[in-house]
Amino acid sequence: MDIKKLQETYPKLLEYMTSDDYSKHYIRLLKTEINWILNNHDYKEILSYEQACFIRSEQTSSYDMKRRYHLFYGILKRFEEDNLFPNRRRQEPLIKRGSYHLLCPEFKEVIDTYCVADKARGLKEHTIYGNASGGSCFLLKMQELGHTSLSTITEEDALSFFVGDDGNAWTSSCYKKEISAVFKADLGDYSKEAYRIHTYMPKIRPKRKTVPYLQSEEIKAIHDIIQPECSALSLRNKAIATLLFFTGLRGCDIAILEFNDIDWDSEEIRLTQEKTGINLTLPLTPTIGNAIYDYISNERPASSDTHIFLSEQKPYDPLKPKALYYISGKIYDAANIRMNSGERRGTHLFRYNLATSFIGKGVARPVISETLGHADPNSLDYYLFSDIIHLRECALSIERYPVCQEVFE
């Protein structure tokens, strides 16, 4: 880090971003970080942009703020060290998130070996990434306890990651399952020690979530904002909301939709699902077709890219699956629902809604599973947890039991 060079040259960076149509708000936020690092460089003995990013990230619990710090300090590092101006296109982050890059050489090799082994088994990339991330967090904790080799990790150390001082598990069964996947894999020379550590991991009872299904008034509010006459959403977001609402498609599948996936003559949507790799065919109803057509005709930026949905900012790249979460937030905001802190607002709620709507109307399970594109018909069981209509029918009456009037007051 050359703090003097940054101080002398950062006006050129801000001038470039202004000329490249970055928003004033975005530039102002970046300038805030420049001022912070210039003012705190000597006081906090900051030696690198990575260190500055770590300090700032520790000052907030907000995921969005942490993400912003990694982005901004990556921009500053690339500009100051390599004389490169920011590029709107997605680039490999210079300042990485997660635990892997903090691991010692042996622990990194364990994770690398796992990734190669499960890739050879044909596991999905996102599954491998999730397991590797969990395994990296576990190994980083072991590293903080003073270990740099699997051979020195004790049962007490391994248990301390999963169980608190009160003897209760503080990690979920799914998180433990991800970590277990790493230590059960074929790790070559590390397999023996990895298996030993795996035997130390406690059994954690899975908890069944209460699915936060959409209420009838919420369904009506969403239905209202996707009407053609409503202007609460951009045409792109309205088309995405229509697809979510009427098809229950996963956000990742909407992001990868291309023009050749739409058969306008046969009125069908045909795609290969990102998560399962299974082909899926859905009806292209007039409501869905009109919403997509309106976006393509009136709002979609001019581009040779074959993806239907593009970013609203230059250089108008195809949407990434993560962008669908933020777009779903705009949908809920426009409908003025789920505005309280902690309420679930992702795209998957639309799948729950479609599934429970079918279930409530007596649609056969195989038809629902086929519509949702499930690889395993038993996957539908999870959606049954939000079938409040039929769940109420299972409730036992308490009429025969005397209850004090005060209970209801």
- State whether 304 and 342 are in the same domain: yes
Which helix (H) or strand (E) covers residue 262, if one does? strand 262-263
Nearest alpha carbon to residue 242 among 308, 322, 328 = 328
Domain contains 52: yes
Range list of H helices, 121-190: 125-144, 155-162, 173-184
Give the count of domains, the chain.
3
Helix (H) or strand (E) holding 271: strand 268-272
Task: Examine the domain organization and report whether 37 and 115 are in the same domain.
Answer: no
Q: What would the two tokens of residue 314 be?
A: 């230059």
User: Domain holding 244: CATH number?
Assistant: 1.10.443.10
Q: What is the pLDDT of residues 30-53, one digit of tens each?
A: 999 999 988 888 777 787 888 888
Residue 301 belongs to what domain range?
216-347
Same domain for 342 and 250: yes
Residues 193 and 282 reside in one and the same domain = no
Determine, yes or no, domain membership for 360. Answer: no
pLDDT at site 85: 86
- Asked whether the predicted pLDDT for residue 27 surpasses 60, the reply is yes
Q: Answer yes or no: pTM beyond 0.75.
A: no
The mean pLDDT of 107-113, rounded to a whole number, is 95
Task: Note the pLDDT tens digit of each residue in 288-312.
Answer: 999 999 999 999 999 999 999 999 8
- pLDDT in the model for residue 113: 96
Residue 270's DSSP bridge partners are: 281
Considering the domain architecture, whether residues 66 and 121 belong to the same structural domain is answered as: no
Kindly indicate the confidence band of residue 400, based on its pLDDT and cuts at 50, 70 and 90.
Answer: confident
- 117 in any annotated domain: yes
Looking at 56, 82, 108, the residue that finishes a domain is 82
pLDDT at 162 over 60: yes
- Looking at 148, 168, 200, which one is the last position of a domain? 200
Is the same domain home to 188 and 311? no
Element (H, E) at 358: helix 348-360
232 located within any domain = yes
pLDDT tens per residue across span 187-219: 999 999 999 999 999 988 876 666 667 888 999
- Read off the pLDDT of residues 335-364 as tens digits, 9 standing for 90 and up: 999 998 878 888 988 988 888 888 777 788
Question: Is 409 inside a domain boundary?
Answer: no
User: What pLDDT does residue 208 have?
Assistant: 61
* Whether residue 310 sits in one domain with residue 264: yes
